[in-house]
Amino acid sequence: MEINFYNKKVEKFLRSIDKVLRPRVAKALDLLEVRGNNLQMPYSKALGGGLFELRIIGVNQIRFIYTFNKNQAYILHAFVKKTEQISKKDIDYSKTQLKVLRKI
């Protein structure tokens, strides 16, 4: 399955990831590419409304919010998770990006 980074903000975040964490991020993205919508916990979790989180767990917890569209995965948002739950702001931003994607 092809993975697309939906916007420049996601691409910028990806480039900013610490060199120590890059192999773990690459592994998680590879798993998403190979397993697609069959990827499950602990790597992926459904958030509802067509959104999923790709989970990179460690001292710094990284999250990629993604969706599936036309047999492709789209990374809509990426961030370092600092609280136990994903913030409403991050979910709302991801939903906005999803709405724009679905209009294309």
* CATH class of the region 2-103: alpha beta
Tokens (6 digits) for 9: 């903000």
Q: Is the pTM of this model over 0.95?
A: no
Q: What is the dihedral of CA 81, 102, 43, 37, to 10 degrees?
A: 170
Asked if residue 104 has pLDDT above 80, the reply is no
pLDDT in tens, 41-80: 999 999 999 999 999 988 889 999 999 998 899 999 999 9
Can you give the residue ranges of every domain in the chain?
A: 2-103
